[in-house]
């Protein structure tokens, strides 16, 4: 909401309200890859780094249906399609994607588990199955009119909850595969998107980028943790480490390729400059920020009555945590 208000105030002359809401949604997901030094640091309490990691893993899939609804509303208000057309588009994207994802995740997980139990598949191909199931969910969803990203997201959630016997190898391969794909995406982003988009950037877009990375993020975090009795520097730490990355880039490409959204170029250019600032700002401050926060929390290691230090079990999501 705060991101939408800032977009209306700073970019209101070039974006309609629902376009501003869509831009705020594009820049809502965080990317833990840019804060790897934070989510893998043993100096940061477990519940804090796992909170950042879980947020990064879940919010991209949660934000996409919201983004599609806002785009449909923007298209309707701009008269580029009838209300029934945009409603049908949003409904198919939001409903068919999860259905396909759950089906592929459940059936695919069962098939892989049976293949492993019967020794029909080697360990290497068991690792590769996570990539195959993701692509399968994406492709089938797109063929039937659903959203491939939502389908892949739901397939992963379903697989993790219905086929736990194969999750260990998928975690290991998925971590290495994910890091490689993230690096490739950022390479493409830097070489093909940044410079063309920067030609369209003005001071309002730059100011909005800074505001959404600081004011919108920090105020939102502060409101969400009301009642948890967290220390002020914990709230500041959680509020700052919300880097924008791969999810925002993919959403930006979705906007750019779509038809009928008049402010798509403004939204895309704003996304590019926001991610660019985030790459440098969060990348440079991740390690010193984790050390700074770790020093503050080290004074309370002997006590466990603080919410930040409540005992938690490690989640097998980051390989470096298990070393």
pLDDT for 320: 41
pLDDT for 319: 43
Per-residue pLDDT of the chain (323 residues; tens, 9 = 90+): 888 888 888 887 778 888 888 888 888 888 877 777 787 777 888 888 878 877 777 777 778 788 878 877 776 665 555 666 667 777 777 788 888 889 988 888 888 888 878 878 777 677 777 778 888 888 998 888 877 778 888 888 888 778 777 666 666 666 666 666 777 777 776 666 677 777 777 888 889 999 999 988 898 888 888 888 788 888 888 888 888 887 888 888 777 765 567 777 888 888 888 988 988 888 888 888 888 888 887 776 655 567 767 666 666 544 443 33
pLDDT for 91: 75
Residue 13 dihedral angles phi and psi, to the nearest 5°: -75, -15
pLDDT for 207: 92
**Residue 73 to residue 81: CA distance in whole angstroms:** 10
- Distances in Å between the Cα of 301 and the Cα atoms of 17, 232, 290, 306, 310 are 47, 17, 16, 10, 10
**Residue 135 to residue 199: CA distance in whole angstroms:** 35
**Residue 55 to residue 38: CA distance in whole angstroms:** 13
**Residue 103 to residue 250: CA distance in whole angstroms:** 24
Residue 314 dihedral angles phi and psi, to the nearest 5°: -65, 140
Q: What is the DSSP string of 54-93?
A: HHHHHHHHHHHHHHHHHHHHHHHHTTSS-HHHHHHHHHHH
Q: Could you give the 3-state DSSP secondary structure of residue 201?
A: coil
Entry pTM: 0.73
């Amino acid at each position: 909401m705060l991101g939408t208000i800032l977009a209306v105030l700073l970019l209101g002359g070039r974006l309609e309200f629902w376009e501003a809401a869509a831009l705020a949604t594009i820049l809502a997901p965080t990317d833990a890859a840019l804060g790897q030094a934070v989510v893998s640091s043993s100096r940061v309490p477990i519940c804090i780094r796992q909170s950042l990691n879980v947020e990064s893993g879940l919010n991209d899939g949660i934000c996409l249906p919201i983004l599609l609804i806002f785009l449909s509303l923007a298209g309707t208000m701009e008269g580029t399609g009838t209300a029934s057309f945009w409603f049908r588009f949003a409904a198919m994207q939001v409903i068919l994607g999860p259905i396909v994802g759950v089906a592929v995740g459940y059936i695919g997980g069962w098939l892989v588990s049976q293949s492993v139990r019967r020794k029909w598949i080697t360990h290497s191909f068991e690792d590769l199955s996570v990539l195959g199931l993701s692509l399968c969910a994406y492709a089938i969803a797109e063929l039937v009119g659903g959203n491939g990203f939502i389908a892949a997201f739901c397939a992963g959630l379903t697989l993790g909850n219905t086929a736990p016997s194969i999750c260990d190898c998928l975690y290991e391969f998925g971590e290495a595969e994910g890091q490689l794909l993230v690096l490739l995406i950022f390479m493409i982003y830097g070489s093909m998107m940044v410079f063309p988009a920067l030609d369209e950037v003005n001071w309002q877009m730059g100011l909005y980028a800074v505001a959404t990375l600081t004011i919108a993020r920090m105020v939102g975090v502060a409101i969400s943790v009301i009642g948890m009795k967290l220390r002020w520097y914990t709230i500041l730490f959680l509020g700052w480490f919300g880097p924008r990355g791969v999810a925002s880039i993919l959403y930006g490409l979705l906007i750019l390729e779509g038809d009928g959204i008049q402010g798509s170029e403004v939204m895309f250019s704003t996304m590019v400059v926001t991610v660019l600032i985030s790459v440098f700002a969060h990348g440079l401050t991740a390690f010193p920020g984790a050390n700074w926060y770790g020093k503050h929390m080290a004074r309370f290691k002997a006590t466990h009555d603080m919410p930040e230090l409540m005992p938690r079990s490690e989640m097998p999501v980051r390989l470096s945590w298990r070393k």
